[in-house]
Amino acid sequence: MNHPGINFDESKKKRRVAEIFDAHQLLVHRRTDRMFAVLMALQWLAGVAASLWVSPKSWAGTTSYTHPHVWAALFLGGAISVLPILLAMTRPGHLSTRYTVAVGQMLMGALLIHLTGGRIETHFHVFGSLAFLSFYRDWRVLIPATIVVAADHLLRGIFWPQSVYGVLTASEWRWLEHAGWVIFEDTFLLIAIRHSIGEMWGIAERTAEIESLNEGLEAHVANRTEQLVAANRELEKEVAERALAETELAAQRAFLRQVIDLNPSFIFAKDREGRFTLVNQAIADAYGTTVDGLLGKTDADFNPNVAEVECFRRDDLEVINTLKEKFIPEEVVTDAGGRVRWLQTIKRPIVSADGAANHMLGVATDITARKQMEEALQQALEQIKTALHEKEVLLKEIHHRVKNNMQVITSLLSLQSKSISDEQALAVFQDSQNRVKSMALIHETLYQSKDLSRINFAEYLEKLVAHVSRSYRIRPEAVKVNIHVDQVSLPIDTAVPCGLIINELASNSLKYAFPADARGELNISFARDDAGYVLRVSDTGVGLPEGFDPERGKSLGMKLVRMLTGQLSGELAHHNGVGTTFEIRFPEERQEVRA
């Protein structure tokens, strides 16, 4: 299995294998040293026990004494065991320790053979010891052990042959037979040691392989861990930013929530099935529920008016399907309290990225108050119209009655004048009648017109001049009356003085400018210029007498003209040439102000 990042250095691996093998071998050597330390101590004690058991005493006739085997087991066994035990405890793992142990163990075998009375079974100790020594897994330790056994037999064969072979003259090479059996076992032990060493090398190689893999894996894991830590930091940063953004978003959402909830208009969004997906507090209040209670529901769940619900549904689907805004100037909705509210609604489709719409947004403004005000205003207007009509009727009636009263006055003056024979007195009466008539004509014109506040001055002037002409029995072929009046309407406060002034000046011309059926023209014009109005009355008659000053004329007529001109804030001018011309200018503004 290949792992990225694993450096498979063969030389390094071989060194590591050797290190592991050496460590394992040292561990085995030390462990076996410790085992032999215990074993040799036990052997020593066992030897002492065996000597005490087998041959505690030796006898010479009737005399007994401690058997030399006991002392040999105690002191010689102790001497044999002490050095290997000390080295095994203080220098475990050293080759010299193993050699010493091997030599000591085989010497102990020789001693035990004697201590057990020369039992042939004790000779197995030699072969058992060789097997134990093979636990070192070091073939070298078998050499001193074998040498000790061979030397034992060789020396004893030389110096005490009867102890080995029971005869004084045994073959000097017979020791080789005994050594050969030891070597025979050594052969098997060497094979076993070789296999063990091979297995240890195999273990070392596998361990090194595992370590190498682990090292690579650890490096890989460390690298991945570092990457994960960095990614984790980045993630934590993103999470923190996201949390901050979510906090801000939540605040913004709460703010927007507050904004739409504070809005008195109904703000809502619905899906294609008519379910509310967004509502504000106003519409929730209108339906007598909460915002959460309204979400997911439809109008039909709260509005008992089926016709309204169907109308809403139709409009909603129209907006979603056509993708077009719909403005509904007025519509009604029945709220939770059963009250009918007037709404002005605008509905728009909520178009998704694919250009389709499955939701619509509606904003409905409650116009119930405005609607009620409009209705109240309409009623007030109706009342005002009625009142105005009644006032006009009353005003016309007043004008009519004033005109009638003035007509009565005129008639009374006419009746009165019939009993008067004095020409001058008659003229006075006639003038008075004309003056009253001129005012009566104003009221007559007023109540006959639609506008009771202003009078069509041209129409009035036609009537006035015709009346004046008739009253002085002026024949039209003798004096031609020319009237030039701009189409202006004058308020009554202006029209009355103007009418009286024209009456005075026209009467004066008709009475005095054309004596003895003289022919001529009487021109009356009323026009508007930049400064205001210009009233001009002229004739082609005989003109004013020599030295006549209109400003100082004491006739009633001239006094009235001056007084009325002043009332109009006007200026009076006259020209006495071919005929007489009076011109009066007065400002328009003033008249309007006064009106």
* Alpha-carbon distances of 527 from 275, 507, 532, rounded to whole Å: 74, 21, 9
Q: Any contact of residue 57 with other proteins (CB under 8 A)?
A: yes
Q: Any contact of residue 182 with other proteins (CB under 8 A)?
A: no
* Alpha-carbon distances of 401 from 41, 398, 490, 491, rounded to whole Å: 163, 5, 21, 19
CB of 185 to other proteins, least distance (A): 19
Q: Any contact of residue 127 with other proteins (CB under 8 A)?
A: no
**Listed ranges 32-40, 156-164, 234-242, 555-563: which one lies at the site for other proteins (CB under 8 A):** 156-164
**Listed ranges 65-73, 278-286, 291-299, 429-437: which one lies at the site for other proteins (CB under 8 A):** 65-73
CB of 190 to other proteins, least distance (A): 23
**Listed ranges 9-17, 52-60, 529-537, 546-554: which one lies at the site for other proteins (CB under 8 A):** 52-60
Q: Any contact of residue 487 with other proteins (CB under 8 A)?
A: no
**Listed ranges 63-71, 267-275, 294-302, 397-405: which one lies at the site for other proteins (CB under 8 A):** 63-71
Among residues 60, 306, 516, 593, the one that binds other proteins under rule CB under 8 A: 60
Beta bridge partners, 283, equal none
Among residues 11, 63, 419, 421, the one that binds other proteins under rule CB under 8 A: 63
**Strand, helix or coil for residue 285:** helix
Among residues 1, 10, 11, 62, the one that binds other proteins under rule CB under 8 A: 62
Q: Any contact of residue 149 with other proteins (CB under 8 A)?
A: no
**Strand, helix or coil for residue 211:** helix
CB of 210 to other proteins, least distance (A): 34
CB of 113 to other proteins, least distance (A): 8
- Binding map of other proteins across residues 410-439, x = CB under 8 A, - = no contact: ------------------------------
How large is the greatest C-alpha to C-alpha distance in the chain, in angstroms? 226
Among residues 16, 29, 69, 435, the one that binds other proteins under rule CB under 8 A: 69
Q: Any contact of residue 52 with other proteins (CB under 8 A)?
A: no
CB of 63 to other proteins, least distance (A): 4
Count residues contacting other proteins (CB under 8 A)?
42
Residue 571 backbone phi and psi in degrees, to 5: -125, 140
Among residues 2, 159, 487, 554, the one that binds other proteins under rule CB under 8 A: 159
CB of 117 to other proteins, least distance (A): 5
H helices of 263-305, where? 281-286, 291-294
d(CA 236, CA 380): 71
Among residues 16, 29, 98, 114, the one that binds other proteins under rule CB under 8 A: 114
Among residues 2, 11, 166, 549, the one that binds other proteins under rule CB under 8 A: 166
Q: Any contact of residue 180 with other proteins (CB under 8 A)?
A: no
Q: Any contact of residue 156 with other proteins (CB under 8 A)?
A: yes
Q: In this structure, are residues 269 and 361 in contact, taking their beta carbons and an 8 Å threshold?
A: yes
- Binding map of other proteins across residues 546-585, x = CB under 8 A, - = no contact: ----------------------------------------
CB of 168 to other proteins, least distance (A): 8
Q: Any contact of residue 118 with other proteins (CB under 8 A)?
A: yes
Q: Any contact of residue 353 with other proteins (CB under 8 A)?
A: no
Q: Any contact of residue 162 with other proteins (CB under 8 A)?
A: yes
Among residues 35, 41, 79, 398, the one that binds other proteins under rule CB under 8 A: 79
59 class by beta-carbon count within 10 Å (0-12 exposed, 13-18 middle, 19+ buried): exposed
d(CA 261, CA 283): 9
* Alpha-carbon distances of 420 from 408, 430, 437, rounded to whole Å: 19, 11, 20
DSSP state of 73: I
d(CA 276, CA 309): 13
d(CA 168, CA 158): 10
**Listed ranges 70-78, 188-196, 354-362, 373-381: which one lies at the site for other proteins (CB under 8 A):** 70-78
Q: Any contact of residue 164 with other proteins (CB under 8 A)?
A: yes
Length of the chain: 595
134 class by beta-carbon count within 10 Å (0-12 exposed, 13-18 middle, 19+ buried): buried
Which of 474, 538, 543, 533 lies closest to 502, judged by CA?
Answer: 538
Q: Any contact of residue 119 with other proteins (CB under 8 A)?
A: yes
156 class by beta-carbon count within 10 Å (0-12 exposed, 13-18 middle, 19+ buried): middle
How many helical (H) and strand (E) elements, i.e. helices and strands, does the chain have? 17, 14
| Token pair 């076993």: residue | 192
Ramachandran quadrant class, 92 (left: phi over 0; alpha: psi -120 to 50; beta: rest): beta
List b or e across 259-288, with b for residues whose CB sees 16 or more CB atoms inside 10 angstroms: ebbeeebbbbbbbeebbbebbbbbbbbbbe
CB of 163 to other proteins, least distance (A): 4
Among residues 127, 135, 139, 165, the one that binds other proteins under rule CB under 8 A: 165
Q: Please, which residue, 84 or 349, has the CB nearer to other proteins?
A: 84
Which of 281, 293, 288, 320 lies closest to 304, judged by CA?
Answer: 288
In DSSP notation, 84-114 reads: HHHHHHHSTT-HHHHHHHHHHHHHHHHHHHH
Among residues 45, 68, 89, 528, the one that binds other proteins under rule CB under 8 A: 68
Q: By the criterion CB under 8 A, which residues form the site for other proteins?
A: 54-65, 67-69, 72, 75-76, 79-80, 83, 96, 100, 103, 107, 110-111, 114, 117-120, 156, 159-160, 162-168
